[in-house]
Amino acid sequence: MQALSKKKILLGVTGGIAAYKAAELLRQLIKAGAEVRVVMTPSAQEFVQPLTYQALSGHRVYIDLFDAEADSAMDHIELARWCDLLLVAPASANFLGKLNAGYADNLLLTLCLASKQPVAVAPAMNQQMFANAATRDNIDQLNARKVLVWGPADGEQACGDVGPGRMLEPEQLVNNVVLHFMPGQLEGVELLLTAGPTREAIDPVRYISNRSSGKMGYALAEAALKEGANVTLVSGPVALPAPQGAALVAVESAQQMYDAVMRQASQSDIFIACAAVTDYRVDQAADHKIKKAAGEMSLQLVPNADILAAVSALEKRPFCVGFAAETRQLEEYALDKLKQKNLDMIAANQVGDSDSGFETDFNQLEVFWPQGRQSIERATKTEIAKQLIELIAERYTASRS
């Protein structure tokens, strides 16, 4: 049976050089069994003629909000009701900004507002446009509203630049559509996840911490929720909205995180230790602000409890996934941690660079498990999280069988 048999896909095409890829995407969606209708923005016609999509789909292409030749005066309502998924590929920076702002000045934007079905976008633009703070804010807001953001990819662009902004290849987008309609790989699984930094008080106004933003952990929570998991997120202090559907436990110190995790661990099926837990705390935090004085000052530091090792050592332990953030000897340190803490998997990433890891929207991982490894190439943390959760689900299922 074809993977997308009887599925109705509304494919939106916006203005951009990647519009030529939408033709191949359309062909592959139909080959997978989907019924596809195409909606173009007026600017998309500057790159590909509607006749191309009409010939491939076997149906007229919808363009104008007020079309005298339309099947109905309410096409924007009828099409929105017809589809099972509205996929915009490519989605230009202009389109994403208007979608975030709630504009409805063309047929495609109107359909996005009128549809009760999921909306997915595949961003495609110049790498500098994608890096612009306005674009990043638009994508973050769309993510928060449950718009599916697939991509972009990293690589050489039509303008000659190299960086993130390429539309995902048609094969990957079709795979994402197939996975979207599949039952979640973690349906009913109890997943416990830590995210963000911890803070260790020096006095009431100062603390020891690290540069973790929590973005990777929160992206993992979102990806796990989409796969049907029941997610408990134990989070240190971050400036991120709580993922809808997750049970959020907000903590500050490593000890608070340890206590919260240990209360849940034995009832969990999977534990992902993504938080950047502060390794040491001040032996005796001051009750009042320490006043500045001439000369040196010393702090006595003592180690915090190792949360991941404690969970892994439980008699009734979950499937344990660790993270290793390293500045050198990535593989050596990750494999040592995998063995020493008796983990099922470990995801290692290089930190210290400006383009991935802490305080950025991008990451790349080397994932290890006993007798296996897999690389996850540099991409947005949302895309990285999706791929890592799929891999965790695969290994978790294998471990149970």
**Active-site annotation, residues:** 159
Distance, CA of 274 to CA of 308 (rounded, Å): 10
Report the sign of the C-alpha dihedral through residues 57, 62, 63, 68, in that order: positive
Helix (H) or strand (E) holding 312: helix 307-312
Helix (H) or strand (E) holding 371: none
Cα distances from 397 to residues 187, 189, 192, 220, in angstroms, run: 12, 11, 16, 18
Distance, CA of 127 to CA of 163 (rounded, Å): 5
Name the one residue in this structure whose structure tokens are 């001051």.
286
Contact criterion met (CB below 8 Å) for 247 and 232: yes
Distance, CA of 170 to CA of 168 (rounded, Å): 6
Which residue type occupies 228? Answer: G
Output the six-digit token pair for 31. 């080959």
Distance, CA of 190 to CA of 174 (rounded, Å): 29
Q: What is the DSSP string of 178-220?
A: HHHHSPPTTTT-EEEEEESB--EEEETTEEE-----SHHHHHH
Contacts of 102 (CB under 8 A, 6+ apart): 113
Distance, CA of 8 to CA of 43 (rounded, Å): 25
Which residue type occupies 136? Answer: R
Radius of gyration of the chain (CA): 24
User: Residues in the chain, how many?
Assistant: 401
Contacts of 339 (CB under 8 A, 6+ apart): none
